[in-house]
Amino acid sequence: MVNFECKSEYDIDDFRRIIKVLRSPGGCPWDIEQTHESIRRNLLEEAYEVCEAIDKKDPENLCEELGDLLMQVLFHSSIEEEKGVFDLDDVADAAVKKLIYRHPHVFGDISVCGSEEVLKNWDELKRREKAQDTVTKIMQDVAESLPALWRAEKIQKKAKKVGFDWPDISGAMEKLMEEQRELKDALDSGEEAKIEEELGDLLFSAVNLARFAGVDPEAALHKSCEKFIKRFDYMEKKSHSLCRILGDMSLEELEELYQESKSYL
């Protein structure tokens, strides 16, 4: 039996302690075996589940999912603490110092006129902090682990700050159509590497268009996924009412059902 006090309520210190208990001899064999790499995906999944709770405006679920995400932070910190590299207090220390450094208008003598100026100062301080002396370096520092649509958007915004951008949305639209033609040429050629390249360029241009339109490309694609699922659900239910099976229907019949679903969804 491990030494951990059961209470009616727990705090952050208890949370830290239970992770250590789980990772210690006599704790949980699975937890003991984990590494940064083995639970990397867990961290991402928990972050997305927090976002889903936010999107659904579900505070009860948000509380739970934030706890799961915090557990990942504690877990990764505990792994490093065991190696004597850093612990959660070091994580907090670095984070607080960064916040103080990047908020000179709060903790220093800098004056700002509003949130836009705050963001401008934040970016400048971040560039100094990370020694980002070129725009290329700034782009390279955009995390590769981000969803590709978000990464593309962030990179494009970096280019915009030095004037490399279309004057208006029409240029972005024309570029999208150009990339579509180039993708068609690649498909006609049958060259796999060229098809991948041109498809990537088309997606990059679609993100650029979304940026001009003020649309979050990741959110837009998620909504399209949900819309497709709902329409497909209609197709399945309608085919069932006709005593038909989708897999036995022709493409023309399926397309007819799909077009019909648009009238209802």
Same domain (yes/no): 70, 31: yes
Q: Is residue 52 part of a domain?
A: yes
Structural domain boundaries, residue 251: 220-261
202 within domain boundaries: yes
Residues 25 and 65 in one domain: yes
Query: Which tens digit of pLDDT belongs to each residue from 82-92?
Result: 999 999 999 99
Residue 176 resides in a domain? yes
Q: What long-range pairs does 230-235 form, CB within 8 A, spacing at least 24?
A: 230/261, 230/265, 231/258, 231/261, 231/262, 231/265, 232/258, 232/261, 234/260, 234/261, 234/264, 234/265, 235/261
- Domain count within the chain: 3
Mean pLDDT of 255-265: 92
pTM of the model: 0.76
pLDDT above 80 for 81: yes
Paired tokens of 108? 């220093």
Residues of the chain with pLDDT > 70: what percent? Answer: 100
- Check residue 120 and give its pLDDT: 86
- Do residues 89 and 34 share a domain? yes
- Write the CA distances from 53 to 62, 225, 230, 258, integer angstroms: 5, 18, 20, 30
pLDDT value for 133: 87
Same domain, yes or no: 203 and 257 = no
Task: Specify if 128 maps to a domain.
Answer: no
Residue 107 lies inside a defined structural domain of this protein: no
Task: Answer yes or no: do 197 and 228 share one domain.
Answer: no
In a domain, 119, yes or no: no
- Indicate if 209 and 225 belong to the same structural domain: no
Let me know if residue 124 belongs to a domain.
Answer: no
Q: Are residues 174 and 155 in the same domain?
A: yes
Q: Which pair of structure tokens corresponds to residue 202?
A: 């088309």
- For tokens 């038909």, the residue is 244
- What pLDDT score was predicted for residue 123? 85
Domain CATH number, residue 89: 1.10.287.1080
pLDDT at res. 210: 97
What's the confidence (pLDDT) of residue 2? Answer: 76
Q: Are residues 178 and 228 in the same domain?
A: no
| Residue 206 structure tokens | 């679609």
Instruction: For residue 49, tell me if it sits in a domain.
Output: yes
User: Is 90 in the same domain as 24?
Assistant: yes
